[in-house]
Copies of this chain bind each other. A is one copy, B any other.
Amino acid sequence: MYRGLVEELARKNDSRILLAVIDGLGDISIEELGGRTPLEAARTPEMDRLAAGGALGVHISVARGITPGSGPAHLGLFGYDPVKYQVGRGVLAALGVGFNLKHGDLAVRINFCTLDDEGVITDRRAGRITTEKCVELVGMLADIKIDGVETFVIPVKQHRACVVFRGNDLSDDILDTDPGLVGHRPVPVDGSEKSHRVVREFQRKAEEILKDLHPANFLLMRGFALHKEFPSFEERFALDAASVALYPMYRGVAGLVGMNVFKCDPEDLSGEVKAVKKALRNGHDFVFLHHKPADSAGEDGNVSAKIRAIEEFDRALPSFLEPGFDVVCITGDHSTPCPMKLHSWHSVPVLIHGGPQRWGYSSAFSERQAIKGALGSFMSTDIMPLLLASAGKLAKFGA
């Protein structure tokens, strides 16, 4: 995709677009399903109907053979080149717990750990302390004051937390203090820049607070990442976008591109349906809807759970569509094949319904039909231009 081309051609109209992401949707041939995938085995009359009246294709997330994490995979779907717009681990961790990062913030992941009397790491996870313990320790660290920055320490889960430093002139050119192995000392923070001084001081003050507490008597830092604000969805695509997702991580990535994040009450599909309706009532013309359980089932290698997760989404689909979208796209962020129990590089089925399409090529939404669909195969970053075009939101290029 040529830089700036879509931005130049994007224009507003009244059409409304739904981008529904079934996380980890794609899969591979599974023996116990006679070579079918969970999507092929699932009963999905609603998606099949849209497939028959719409157009299918497959997307490649980052590049052929490359397995994306959730961050890059979603950025690709949102039309942001995931290699150009890399989001560091520290930033993802902070976004993942819903922390409102600002441009220039330095974020980093923390693991509470155990050091012996010699200062050597004996447990990189401090015996996987409970989340309650983590919250307690973070509370103790919250009082740390460092000259020239605001410091925010945020609990995550078990031994995991993160810290955000907010101030001018911070850089993320800092090596992990976590050596990745027990039996070593933490890697010292060298360097004379402001960030180095800030991180050293934070570490020293944290050590003072933690040193007599066992097993979590120190902390390791990894994934220093400076938060850079992205050009927003509104700037790039002239869309007033809303996100409806149950998991903080996906709300975080949506927030990163300037989507208006809607909370769901209750935190389930019915809450998501309500949030989608509210987003349209509030005048949003683009809704990103995220459905997580298919990915979780894939990561667990649970074929029947993945089928159920897909069927559950299919049953909810009419409610999601009820308020009226002009263009609907259903896809995944990446494949999470059950036999692999991991994200993978395999292409991801895409369904686009609404707007002028070549329809009648497909009878169901499946990997097998998608690869032969009317849309062909394309990069994930091509999806946004295809949706804008289908919704009549892209002007002609050239005379």
Q: What is A's interface to B at a CB cutoff of 8 Å?
A: 1-2, 5-6, 9, 28-29, 35, 37, 58, 62-72, 82-83, 86-87, 89, 92, 223, 337, 339-340, 342-347, 356-361, 367-368, 371-374, 376-379, 382, 384-389, 394-399
Contacts and interface: CB of A to CB of B under 8 A. Distances in A.
Given A5-B83, A377-B377, A396 B69 contact: yes
A86 B398 CA distance: 8
A68 B385 contact: no
21 contacts: A2-B83, A5-B63, A6-B65, A29-B359, A35-B359, A37-B358, A63-B382, A65-B382, A65-B386, A65-B394, A66-B397, A67-B397, A68-B398, A69-B398, A69-B399, A87-B399, A92-B399, A339-B356, A343-B396, A347-B376, A372-B372
A68 B397 contact: yes
Main DSSP-derived SS at the A contact region: loop
A306 B342 CA distance: 42
A343 B339 CA distance: 41
Number of identical protomers: 2
Nearest to A367: B358
Nearest to A381: B64
The CB with the most chain B CB atoms within 10 A, among A1, A360, A396, is that of A396
Contacts of A367: 358, 374
Given A372-B372, A376-B58, A389-B66, A29 B357 contact: yes
Contacts of A86: 398
A72 B385 CA distance: 18
Contacts of A72: 397-398
A389 B67 contact: yes
Given A65-B394, A66-B389, A29 B368 contact: no
A356 B382 contact: no
A196 to B, nearest CB: 24
Nearest to A343: B396
Contacts of A344: 356, 389
